[in-house]
Structure 1
Amino acid sequence: MIPAIPTSLPPLPAREGVWLKGDWHLHSRHSTDSSNNPIGKIIGFAESQGFDYLAITDHDVHVMGAVASHTWADPELRSDNLLLFHGAELTANRGHINILSTGPYDHQRVFDHRDDRDWNLLALKRELGVHFSANHPSTKNHYGFSFDLADSVEIWNGSVWPKNVPGVRIWDDMLKSGRMLGGRGGSDAHHGVPDAPELTTPHSIEATANYVGTPTTWVYARERTKQAVLEAMAAGRASVSANPFNPRVELVADHDGDGVMDMMMGDNVKPTGAPVTFEVRLVGGGIDRASYRVRVVRNRDEFATLITDPETRSVRFVDTPGTGERNYYRVEIEGPQTPYPAVPNSMALSQNMVALSNPLYFNYNPAF
């Protein structure tokens, strides 16, 4: 364990933006493997818990690709408080992709070409102007397409943390290969809380352990619009927490040594050859005066293990990224889970994994 460096919490990089929280992977009654989970219930729950955005991504194979006349046509798909994305889970022989968009698009075309070669799908994605997010890359329905197709990847699927460890390793492999690939979460919730005790089923009980926000993805968008949120997620300006009441992790850095934290998650700079000061911050939520364990990952390997200060809820470390090499840094936060009263059983399933950051990049731009 390397020693932590005291911090006085200088400001974040000087850029306009807002943190928004939501869930990118949810199934409603329009997925045939869902139960007691109408869209109105999902949206009402999300609003009651203070979420900002939501993507209901039903299985397109269940309606032969016709999501426009099922999920999107549902009169309950509306909210005055949430940014609601249009999307669906492309369910293909090579795995699952969440297709995400700010508005309606021709999903039937994607469905009809789901078994095409990757370069054809890439051309179609660009033509339609949609976001491809690689779903649960290490499960039995793993993402089996090229990661060059993906705009983001689901690094945390559902409340059961241990099943995600192999997927995070795959993400590290992609980052190590030179891809700047934004990581996100998604509950993949299929089942809703019963409306009355007599409606309780084994499936509906799952909603007390895995529902909206387990995990929660925090996105730093330039403004509160759907377009800005998708842009930010693709850029990796995001982090993931086990639930919406856990702290949000922010990874920042002072890459030029002027005392100002001028890098945030998703940023890519040319290293100067001088030491860089990094700072990990836990913001909002969490357990009062708790100390959290910070695991720093550099280029797929563990670089350091630190403990946050209970007062500032932050910790610093220093490293010198090489000028002639590519490097990325990200962090994992472990510690006590904050209660999520509406989904009480999720805490035990997430174990001690509290949050994950997206990386900071050095020398990833070919122009450098």
Structure 2
Amino acid sequence: MPQLRTGHWLKGDWHVHSRHSTDTSHNPVGAIIAFAEEIGFDYLAITDHDNHVLGAVADNTWADPDHRSETVQLLYGAELTAPRGHINILSATPYDHQRVFDARDARDWDLLAVKREPGVHFSANHPTTKNHYGYSFDLADSIEIWNKSTWEKNIPAQRIWDDMLLSGRMLGARGGSDAHHGLPPELDFTRPQTLEATANYVGTPTTWLFASERSPAAILEALERCRASVSANPNNPRVELWADTDGDGMMDMMMGDNVQPTGQPIQFEVRLIGGAVPRAPYKVNIIKNRSDFACLPIDRDTQVLRFIDTPLAGERTYYRVEIEGPQSPFPQVPNCTTQSGAMVAISNPLYFNYNPDF
């Protein structure tokens, strides 16, 4: 049985473009990182398009003298941009991205071998846009279910994620602002900004991760292990999904855990942590095996909801939750709240009777 564990909840953005992507405007690396520091981010991945910098990401984005921070853990990455779609290549340390770029049109089994050489993380970007992820999902370590601030356009991506989960794949979900056109370097919020900067910038959405320590390696591990949830903006509450697997009243199973069900009822617990509009009428949509299981109001005082269900012994089952309600203000990106609609946060799943090697 899983045990309660110590660690840190960390928030950040997995998909941001700087001026080193030639399809961006006034989005310097230093401005992006300064903004992430200002809003209290713990980690950040600047993922410039490799084809726009001729594949030499390491000589541009990573070598930028402003690619540094004393408070934000910076990961190394780039957006693999190929005829079959886009993949965020992510790593805790510098790697030979040119090697991955050169293999972008290879067969999946050949690309898998290239991926394993440096041990990088493949994350499937915006799987339902015109630049959709067109590779095998057996290559992917995670999937971007929330791209940019607008939630409605991401509903098909969520469906693909549910399809992968129902098929037995334990695939971690994340968000990514995919911000291209940002704020000026001086971060003067009183000046007129581009529409994207006021509706979609760093942190819209925000991905929360439960990591064993504050390090790039631990952050990537948490994403791959599905220890994550996504909020529409960094000021929204974080959603957590737990379960009491042995009936002792202690929540010992968290998002990403996989246990063997006994056929006995299990109590689940949904928590909203921080950022909630006081006494707001948040509702919890519970998804079980791709189907709507229940829609329940969360307690307005405790921001906790408990429910009971029985995952059958010998059968594969997953649960995840979505939170709907009012958006918490994000003054630096004021129009993001209207773009996100009622979708406040999404959890990663709890798994029962899954094969972790599949």
**TM-score interval, normalised by the smaller of the two chains:** over 0.9
Q: State the Cα distance separating 1:365 from its structure 2 match.
A: 2.4
DSSP-derived class of the 1:330 partner:
strand
Q: State the Cα distance separating 1:337 from its structure 2 match.
A: 0.3
Normalising by structure 2, we get a TM-score of: 0.96
CA 1:291–1:62: 2 relative to 1, 3 Å: same
Normalising by structure 1, we get a TM-score of: 0.94
CA distance in 2, matches of 1:277, 1:142: 38
CA 1:200–1:291: 2 relative to 1, 3 Å: closer
Please tell me whether the aligned partners of residues 101 and 130 of structure 1 are also in contact (alpha carbons under 8 angstroms): yes
Q: State the Cα distance separating 1:29 from its structure 2 match.
A: 0.1
CA distance in 1, matches of 2:4, 2:58: 41
Please tell me whether the aligned partners of residues 11 and 41 of structure 2 are also in contact (alpha carbons under 8 angstroms): yes
CA distance in 2, matches of 1:13, 1:22: 26
Tell me, yes or no, if structure 1 residue 114 matches structure 2 residue 67: no
Work out which of the residue numbers 126, 135, 152 in structure 2 matches 1:145: 135
Work out which of the residue numbers 6, 11, 20 in structure 2 matches 1:16: 6
Please tell me whether the aligned partners of residues 189 and 332 of structure 2 are also in contact (alpha carbons under 8 angstroms): no
Q: Which residue of 1 aligns with 2:259?
A: 269
Tell me, yes or no, if structure 1 residue 322 matches structure 2 residue 312: yes
CA distance in 2, matches of 1:131, 1:361: 22
Q: Which residue of 2 aligns with 1:206?
A: 196
- The sequence identity of aligned pairs, in percent, is 69
Please tell me whether the aligned partners of residues 206 and 234 of structure 2 are also in contact (alpha carbons under 8 angstroms): yes
Amino acid at match of 2:122: F
Q: State the Cα distance separating 1:366 from its structure 2 match.
A: 6.4
CA distance in 2, matches of 1:328, 1:352: 24
Q: Which residue of 2 aligns with 1:362?
A: 352
Please tell me whether the aligned partners of residues 291 and 313 of structure 1 are also in contact (alpha carbons under 8 angstroms): no
User: 1:284-311 deviations in whole A, cap 9, x for unaligned?
Assistant: 1120111211000000000000100011
DSSP-derived class of the 1:175 partner:
helix
Q: Which residue of 1 aligns with 2:76?
A: 86
Work out which of the residue numbers 217, 227, 230 in structure 2 matches 1:227: 217
DSSP-derived class of the 1:166 partner:
helix
Counterparts of 1:1-368 in structure 2, within 5 Å, are 14-194=4-184, 204-365=194-355
Please tell me whether the aligned partners of residues 278 and 316 of structure 1 are also in contact (alpha carbons under 8 angstroms): yes
CA distance in 2, matches of 1:303, 1:199: 46
CA distance in 2, matches of 1:321, 1:198: 53
DSSP-derived class of the 2:117 partner:
helix
Unmatched 5+ residue regions in structure 2? none
CA distance in 2, matches of 1:119, 1:293: 43
CA distance in 1, matches of 2:189, 2:146: 31
CA RMSD of aligned residues (A): 1.7
Please tell me whether the aligned partners of residues 149 and 336 of structure 2 are also in contact (alpha carbons under 8 angstroms): yes
Amino acid at match of 2:128: S
